Amino acid sequence: MNISNGQPPPLTLERLFDTPGLSGPIPAMARYAPDGRSIAWLRPADDDFERLDLWLCDLDSGSSRCLVDARSLDGSRALSEEEKARRERLRVFSAGIVEFLWAADGSAILFPVSGRLHRLALESGSTPEPVTPAEFFATDIRIASDGRIGFVHDRNLWLLEAGGQPRQLTRDGGGSVSCGLADFIAQEEMHRFDGYFFAPDASRIAFLKVDEATIPLSHRYEIDASGFSVHPQHYPYTGGPNAQVELGIIDLRDDSIRWLEWAAPDSEYLARIQWRPDGEALVIQRQPRDQQRLELVELTLDGDARVLHVETSDTWVNLHDDLRLLSNGSEALWSSERDGHRRLYRLDLTSGDLLPLTPADGMVLKLVDVDEAARHAYVEGWLDTPTQRHLYRVSLTAEEAPERLTPGHGCHQTQLAPDRSSFVDRREHLNQPPCLEVREVGGSLVAELVANRTDTPSHPYHPFLSGHRAAELGELTAADGQRLCYRITPPIMDRGGQHPVIVSVYGGPGVQRVQDAWTPLIHQYFARRGWGVFELDNRGSGHRGRDFERPIHGHLGATEVADQLLGIEYLKTLDWVDPERIAVFGHSYGGYMALMCLARHPDVFRAAVSVAPVTDWMLYDTHYTERYLGDPAGNAEGYAASAVTSYLEGLAKARPGALLLMHGMADDNVLFTHTSRLMHMLQDTGVLFELMAYPGAKHGLAGRRTGLHRFRVIEAFLARHLEGDRHA
C-alpha cells in the first residue's frame, strides 16, 4: 500500500494525537445479545477518540446505530481507588462507556458510568436509567443467570435484587481486607480480574476474601501538578510475603458463609476459580510459590478436595483460561504446553488421560467456545505462521484436522453466536486497521459493522495514504535454531543515502509485538522523518510456546538482548540502514530492554529511550519476578546479573547524554523508585543522561496530552542523536 500520488500531506505529531483518531473508529468488546439477533460494541467517538460510545447492530435489518452517546451521561464523579486500580490493571485508559453487559434475557444493556450502574431497555424511546444508589460506587459488576446483579462497593460484596434494592453480602471488607475483589497480584500478574463467581443457578456465590496485612506496608509518593500525596501500599516485593486469600461460599437463600480450605501445604496462589456445571462443587487452579506445578482441584461444598490433573515444568507453568468442564461431568477441555507449543486436549477427569485435539506444531491462544452437541470446539491461534491469528473449528474426537474459519491473512479476535451459526470478527492486518464483521461459520460475510477502510475518502487516514510505508514481515534464526519473527517499517527514502533505525522493543514474557496487524502510526511518523522502525520478538516473548520462552529462566536481559543484536546484524545487511545511527526505544519491559541494550552494547546503540523501566528486579513483585528468576535467596547471582544497575560501566561508555529516562510519578506497578534509584547511581558515576517525569501519571502514561508531549520529547532527543542539532 505504498501509494505515490505526489507529495503526501504533512503528518504531524499534533495530528497523530488529535481527533478523530487516524486509525479510524477501532471497535472494542463486541458481544452478541443472548438471542443472537443483535450485536453491541464500543467505539471511539468521532469528536473525541478518548471517549467510547455504545453501538448496536440489528442483524435482522442490518442497521447499526449509536445506542448511547456517552456525552449524555454524567461522568463527572471521580473514580474510586479500587476502580482506578482495576482499570490500570485492565489497561483501560478511555472515558465514557468502557464496559457493558447484556441483561440475562436480552431485553436491556447495562453499563457503569463513574461507578453508577445504568440500564438501557432496548425499546423505542428508552433512555439509560441508573439502577444503583447515587451514594454507591459499584466496581466489578456481574449478572447472575436469574438477572440479579453483583458488585463490589466499599471493599464488600453486594447484590442488587430484582426490585432494585442493594443487599450487603459481606461485612469484613475495609482497611487491608477486601471481599469480592481480585488483589494486585491476581489482576496484574495472574490476569484474574474476578473476585467472585455466581453459581450456574444463581443460588450461591463463591468469593475471595483477601487480607494484605501480611505484606509489609510501604509508602508510595504520588507527585502531581498541585503537590504530592503519600499512598500506603502493601506492595508484594519479590522474596517477601503475599496476601492471605480465603475462599468462601455465600448461600443466597440465607446469606450464610461457608469457608473452604483450598490450599495444599505448599500452595501460594489461587489462580483460577469456576463452578462445576451442576453447581455442586468448585474447580480451582492452584500453584506453589515457584510456579513449576499447576494443580486442577475439585472442591466440594463440604470441603472435600480431589486433585483432577497436574501440569509440571522445570521452569514454570503458564496460566490460561482454557478450562471448559463438559456436561457429562467426567471430561473437560484443557490446554497445555507439555509438548512445547500450547495444544488443546480433551481431559478425562477420572483417569487423567489426555487426548490431543490440535497439532503439535501449532499454538492455541484462546479457547473461544464449545459445541458439545456437534462435538466441536472453537479456538484462536496459529498452526503454521506465528504472526497470524485465526479462528479454527476443532473436532472433540480428534478425527478431523482443525478447520480454519477466518478468511485471508492477519489477526482475528472472535466471538461465536449463541447458536454458533455465525461469529463476530475483529479483523486487522498490516494494511487494514481493526474492523468489525459478522460472518457465517461457513465463511460468507453477513454484515460489516465497522468497515474502517482507509481507502474510503472519509476515513481520517485517507489523506495520508500516499506517504504510507507498508511494514514488512520476516524471520531470522536464533542461536538455538528457533524462528525469530521481525517487522520492519522502512523510511521514506526520497533523500537517498543511509538512514537511522529505531529498534522498538518490548521483549518480555507474555507479549507478542510482531504480527500481521496494523502497526502504531507513530512508526509512520518516524518513517516520514527518514527513520526506519524495526521490531523483533526475541526468545522469552509470548505466544510462541514453552521452548521459545524458557531460555530466559534464571537470568533476564541476556538471551533477549542477544536476539536483538541478531536483529541489528540483519539491519546492517540492508543498503538503506546506517549502522552508526541505531537507537532503541521501549516501555515497561521494553524500557528495561532499552537500558540493557545500551548498557551491554554501548558501541552498537547510539541512543536509548527507556520509559517506565524495571531497573532492579528486587524492586518488582513476587508472582512475576519469581516465575522467571526464582526466590532471591536462592538465585542472588541471577538477580544481580539481571539488574540494569549492575551495568553502570557500560552506560558510562555510551555517548554522553545518550539515555533518555521517562517515568510516571504516580506509577503503582513499576514504581518510580526504579528510575530514581538508577538516576542516583548514574549521578554518582558521573553519567550524563536526560529525564522526563510526568506528574500524576501511572504506568501507562495515558492521555492525549501526555502522549503528545512524550513523543515531542522523544523526537527531539532522537533527532539530536541521530541527525544532529539541525533537526532538533
Q: What residues act catalytically?
A: 588, 667, 699
- Nearest of 243, 293, 288 to residue 269 by alpha carbon: 288
Q: Under 8 Å CB-to-CB from 416, ≥6 apart: which residues?
A: 32, 368, 369, 378, 422, 423
Q: Is 356 exposed, middle or buried (0-12, 13-18, 19+ CB in 10 A)?
A: middle
Angle (nearest 5°) at CA 406 between 91 and 424: 55
- Nearest of 409, 392, 415 to residue 518 by alpha carbon: 409
Between CA 158 and CA 141 the distance in angstroms is 10
According to DSSP, the β-strands at 156-160 and 166-168 are antiparallel
Assigned C-alpha cell, 293 = 506445578
Tell me the β-bridge partners of 693.
Answer: 663
CA dihedral of residues 457, 461, 467, 471 (deg, nearest 10): -120
Assigned C-alpha cell, 386 = 506465528
Between CA 595 and CA 93 the distance in angstroms is 26
- Nearest of 213, 152, 180, 190 to residue 270 by alpha carbon: 190
Between CA 464 and CA 467 the distance in angstroms is 6
The strand ranges marked E within 539-677 are 577-587, 607-611, 659-664
Four-residue CA torsion sign, 593, 595, 598, 600: negative
- Nearest of 289, 286, 331 to residue 311 by alpha carbon: 286
SS3 label, residue 438 = strand
Please, what's the b/e burial string for 62-80 (b: 16 or more CB within 10 A of its CB; e: otherwise)? eebeebbebeebebeeeeb
Assigned C-alpha cell, 230 = 503519600
SS3 label, residue 646 = helix
